[in-house]
Structure formats: C-alpha cells, structure tokens
Amino acid sequence: GAVVSQHPSRVICKSGTSVKIECRSLDFQATTMFWYRQFPKKSLMLMATSNEGSKATYEQGVEKDKFLINHASLTLSTLTVTSAHPEDSSFYICSAPTLPGHPGYTFGSGTRLTVV
C-alpha cells in the first residue's frame, strides 16, 4: 500500500536553531502534501498545503516565514521550523492523497519536536 516516510521521528533542538522535517512518498507520487501540527491530547491542526512546483498555501494564523514548506519533487515535501522556540515544541505530521480521484490519505509517522 501507499507509504509516506517521515523523518526524523524525534528531534531535540536548541532555541534559535532551525529544524527540517522530511516527508517522502515511497511508492506513489504526491503532488499535494498536507502538514499538521498536534499538541498533546489535541486534534490535528492543518498548518499548510504544499503543492509540487508551486508555493504552499498556509492556513490563517500560521507564520509563513517561520514554517517554511518546500515541495521539491513529486515524492518529497519538507517543513522547516526556523528560529525555533519552546512554544514550537509539538508533534508534526504530514499526509498525502493516496490515489488520484480517491479521497483516501496516507499519514507519515510524525515528528516529535522538542525545543529547549
């Protein structure tokens, strides 16, 4: 079945540094990738939608300059948290539409970011 590989699974970084999270579709082409953020015991919050070859679409309230999204190819989308702060600590997860014309989505395994 369709698999989205997300790395790293866990990362600890210092305040002020940047962290890059990668999501790769392993056996299908993902022209679109959704990026979510999840706080403990809370729902997934859509941050942005990345589209291969064009600029990402950000949800209201999400800082574009802080959460840089790049969809470099049909199989790779990245989220870079720039100048990280402790409040950026969260669980970040990506998902991609699995099949053309099918509403199913495949989730990455998630990245636990801790900013110290």
Partner 1 sequence: GENVEQHPSTLSVQEGDSAVIKCTYSDSASNYFPWYKQELGKRPQLIIDIRSNVGEKKDQRIAVTLNKTAKHFSLHITETQPEDSAVYFCAASLDQFYFGTGTSLTVIP
Rounded Cα distance, 11 and 62, in Å: 21
Antiparallel, parallel or unpaired: β 111-115 and 10-13? parallel
Amino acid at residue number 106: T
> Does 55 engage in binding with partner 1 (CB under 8 A)?
no
> Does 109 engage in binding with partner 1 (CB under 8 A)?
yes
> Does 58 engage in binding with partner 1 (CB under 8 A)?
no
> Does 28 engage in binding with partner 1 (CB under 8 A)?
no
CB burial string 63-84: b at 16+ within 10 A, e below:
eeeebbbbbeeebbbbbebeeb
Nearest to 113 by CA among 89, 94, 93: 89
Q: Which of 2, 20, 82, 105 binds partner 1 (CB under 8 A)?
A: 105
Which residue number, 42 or 55, has a Cβ lying nearer to partner 1? 42
Which residue number, 13 or 45, has a Cβ lying nearer to partner 1? 45
Binding range to partner 1, per CB under 8 A, among 16-24, 65-73, 74-82, 100-108: 100-108
Point out which residues bind partner 1 (CB under 8 A).
34, 41-46, 49, 91, 93, 95, 103-105, 107-110, 112
